[in-house]
Amino acid sequence: MKKKLLSVMLASVLAMSMIGCGSSAVSGVTETETTESTDSAQSTDAAQSADATSAEPAGEGSGEDLNVMLETPVESLDPQQATDGTSFEVIADYTDGLMQMDADGQAVNAIAESVDISDDGLTYTFHLRADANWSNGDPVTANDFVFAWQRAVDPEIASEYSYMLSDIGQIVNAQDVIDGAKDKSELGVTAVDDKTLEVKLNVPVSYFLSLMYFPTFYPVNEAFYESVGDTFATSPETTLSNGAFVLDDYQPAATAIHLTKNENYYDAAKVKLAGLNYQVIQDSQQALMSYQNGDLDTTLVNGEQVDQVKDDPAFAAIGAGYMWYISPNIKEVKELDNLNIRYAITMALNREAITTDVLKDGSAPTYTSVPMDFAAGPDGSDFSADQTMFSDYCKYDAAAAADYWAKGLEELGITELNLTMIHDADDAPIKVAQVVKEQLETTLPGLTVDLQQMPKKERVERMQEGEFEIALTRWGPDYADPMTYLGMWVTNNSNNYGFWSNAEYDKIIDECTTGETAMDPAARWAALYDAEKIVMEEAVIFPLYTQCNAELISTSVSGIEFHPVALNRVYKNAVKN
């Protein structure tokens, strides 16, 4: 028998309740990340208040554009090629998947009107709503999803997020298609008819519905795609919408992006904004001035700016979900293959000073490879609540760092080491990189750290190609499960930038995805801790902090939904009065 779910809510995996990146609550703002707070009860109350406001936008709104600051440019608007949070946000503005996130981060129906799940959890049958259309008038069909998902695993497309369908989504034949062993037509997804989509899984996946609001799973109109060819998603003319807004001004590397309300959207009555006006401003001082001049309704602030505006009613500290860390190139840099050198570096990092003295935005020092407050276990507890569990391998201890450093240098037969750290050319990464350089050079005699800043896209490409020594990078959770982080360090994963490999680790992760452990939530949770311990023991990464965004959001704005998972900002229910 199949269970009919008229309104599906993701119950088996919960994003953690928001308990305060800071103590300020702004109308319409959901505070979605925990940091070390001196008054957790007050922070919890503030977050709950913000949640309630964002769920029910006040008033009808003025029908104006919302002016939003972006700190980095969009890299790609192709849903199967995009890899960064900025691109995901804009794509989600004008595209609906099978499911959406509600204000609490739960999976709720979007293009899917209902879904049947077989008793064994291996077959999902999505029934698409009849009134969902593309902006060219074509109906959204099941084939749009089949075509898009086949693109995601097609080796010729080489999507970096193809593993979302194989390792994470466990869709039948996904890995074989990615490996070139089977044709993409054999992927376990079928258009039963125009409005019925059937998906077959290898094993039950408790968080499968939450994957459906991730852009890699968004539909693509095949006929339109074929008509525009290689220019797909590079301009308004080569982009289709089926969502709340329509893209009407965009070009690659643009510093301004505009979207207009989609009057033909099936849920248009809920959309109160006339449109979205994005402005890419990478200089924080310029962004603050634009906000103060009324050219922006929302902007990020950082460092000393926080001290200036923290008492403003428009100020809020909002969990962004990203974990920032330093990735060592273990495979290509022989000195970094030395475990004592890696221990020395991670123990020389004063994370508290970085978050308190440099960022000042509520970001939390992090000492685990899975950040806090986005993944809850079978008993409802936060996977990374205990930030001391790996203190034998990751903590700030200058004396221990110096000892490890001396041992590592002796083992390598050298007395000094020069490392180049690449990082993004944005305000916060620049400042953090400078402090990291100072901390490492001060604590580790004979170490010189050269900084090399570059656009994020170039930094990511360099890391993918292994053309770096150490890199300051970040990762945001794509779904509410520790595997969104732990899956990165499997051998040959496209996001395993340090090119680390460990057979025992791979075996644990495999058992947690397709083995018997995957069927036992408690055993799986314990095994994921075992996997994380290996990552920390091997110092595969040097965790720094879990990001919190300090933002100014005009008091005339309400209903923006903030999430630590997948889509950081959602504007469908936003109102500007």
* pLDDT > 90 fraction of the chain, expressed in percent and rounded: 74
Q: Determine the pLDDT at residue 45.
A: 30
Burial of 319: CB neighbours in 10 Å, binned 0-12, 13-18, 19+: buried
Give the per-residue pLDDT at 448.
98
**Per-residue pLDDT, 334:** 96
Residue 222, classed as helix, strand or coil, is helix
DSSP letter string, 249-308:
E--TT-SEEEEEE-TT-TTGGG---SEEEEEE---HHHHHHHHHTTS-SEEEE-THHHHH
Does 34 score more than 50 pLDDT? no
Task: Give residue 112's pLDDT band: very low, low, confident or very high (50, 70, 90).
Answer: very high
Contact (Cβ atoms closer than 8 angstroms) between residue 453 and residue 433: yes
pLDDT exceeds 60 at position 33 = no
CA 164 to each of CA 88, 112, 160, 563: distance values in angstroms, whole numbers, following the listed order: 15, 20, 9, 19
- Quickly count: other Cβ atoms within 10 Å of residue 466's Cβ: 13
User: Which amino acid makes up residue 449?
Assistant: V
* Residue pLDDT, tens place only, 246-282: 999 998 888 999 999 999 999 999 999 999 999 999 8
Asked which of 60-64, 234-238, 537-541, 558-562 is least confident by mean pLDDT, the reply is: 60-64
Which three-class secondary structure state does DSSP give residue 520? coil
Six-digit token string for 63: 């029908």
Question: Rounded to a whole number, what is the largest CA-CA distance in the chain?
Answer: 70
Phi, psi of 125 (to 5 degrees): -115, 110
Q: How far is CA 34 from the centre of its chain?
A: 16
The pLDDT tens digits for 230-242 are 999 999 999 999 9
Nearest to 343 by CA among 433, 415, 409, 422: 409
Residue 149's pLDDT band, with cuts at 50, 70 and 90, is very high
Q: Does residue 460 sit within a domain?
A: yes
Residue 562 has phi, psi (to 5 degrees) of -110, 135
Quick one: pLDDT at residue 23? 29
Q: For residue 106, what are its two tokens?
A: 């739960």
Which pLDDT score is estimated for 60?
60
Any domain includes 476:
yes
In a domain, residue 90? The reply is no
Q: Is residue 396 part of a domain?
A: yes
Q: How confident is the model at residue 3 (pLDDT cuts 50, 70, 90)?
A: very low
Asked if residue 466 belongs to a domain, the reply is: yes
* pLDDT over threshold 60, residue 52: no
Residue 251: other Cβ atoms inside 10 A: 12
User: Is 384 inside a domain boundary?
Assistant: yes
With CA atoms as reference, report the closest residue to 368 among 168, 564, 541, 549. 541
User: Which tens digit of pLDDT belongs to each residue from 352-409?
Assistant: 999 999 998 889 999 999 999 888 888 889 999 999 999 999 999 999 999 999 999 9
554 or 565: which leads in pLDDT:
554
pLDDT at 440: 98
Render pLDDT for 505-540 as a digit per residue (tens, 0 to 9): 999 999 998 888 988 889 999 999 999 999 999 999
Phi first, then psi, for residue 359 (nearest 5°) are -75, -50
At 109, the pLDDT band (50, 70, 90 cuts) reads very high
Using a 10 angstrom Cβ sphere, with 0-12 exposed, 13-18 middle and 19 or more buried, the burial of residue 337 is middle
Range of the domain at 528: 322-547
CA separation (Å) from 78 to 87, 289, 347?
Answer: 9, 32, 40
Per DSSP, the chain holds a count of helices (H) and strands (E) of 16, 22
The pLDDT, as a whole number, for residue 62 is 59
CATH number at residue 472: 3.10.105.10
- What integer best gives the mean pLDDT of the chain? 88
According to the 3-state scheme, what is the secondary structure of 426-475? CHHHHHHHHHHHHHHHHHCCCEEEEEEEECHHHHHHHHHCCCCCEEEEEE
Q: How many CB atoms lie within 10 A of CB 179?
A: 11
User: What is the DSSP pairing of strand 417-424 with strand 470-475?
Assistant: parallel
> C-alpha distances in angstroms, 569 versus 69, 248, 261, 280, 549?
12, 20, 17, 16, 12
* Higher-scoring residue by pLDDT: 198, 29: 198
Residue 219 has pLDDT above 80, yes or no: yes
Cα distance from N-terminal residue to C-terminal residue, the chain = 49
Considering only CA atoms, which of 392, 408, 404 is closest in space to residue 336?
Answer: 408
Structural domain contains residue 453: yes
| Angle in degrees, CA 7, 83, 509, rounded to 5 | 75
| DSSP codes joined into one string, 84-134 | SHHHHHHHHHH---SEEE-TTS-EEESSEEEEEEETTS-EEEEEE-TT-B-
Evaluate whether residue 72 is within a structural domain: no
Domain count, the chain: 1
What are 297-356's pLDDT values in tens digits?
A: 999 988 888 888 989 999 998 888 889 999 999 999 999 999 999 999 999 999 999 999
User: Contact at 8 Å (CB) between 423 and 453?
Assistant: yes
Phi/psi zone of residue 169: left (φ > 0), alpha (ψ -120 to 50 degrees), beta? alpha
Whether the CB-CB separation of 142 and 196 falls below 8 Å is answered with yes
Burial class (CB in 10 A: 0-12, 13-18, 19+), 303: middle
Can you tell me the distance from the alpha carbon of 12 to that of 329, in angstroms, rounded to the nearest whole number? 36
Select the more confidently predicted residue: 322 or 7: 322
On whether the CB atoms of residues 212 and 99 are closer than 8 A, the answer is yes
Q: Say which DSSP state 201 is in.
A: B
Q: Answer yes or no: is pLDDT of 229 > 50.
A: yes
Q: What is the mean pLDDT of residues 65-83?
A: 95
* Residue 464 tokens, joined: 């993918």
**Does the predicted model carry a pTM greater than 0.85?**
no
pLDDT in tens, 442-498: 999 999 999 999 999 899 999 999 999 999 999 988 888 899 999 999 998 888 999
Backbone conformation region of residue 226, classed left if phi is above 0, alpha if psi is from -120 to 50, else beta: alpha
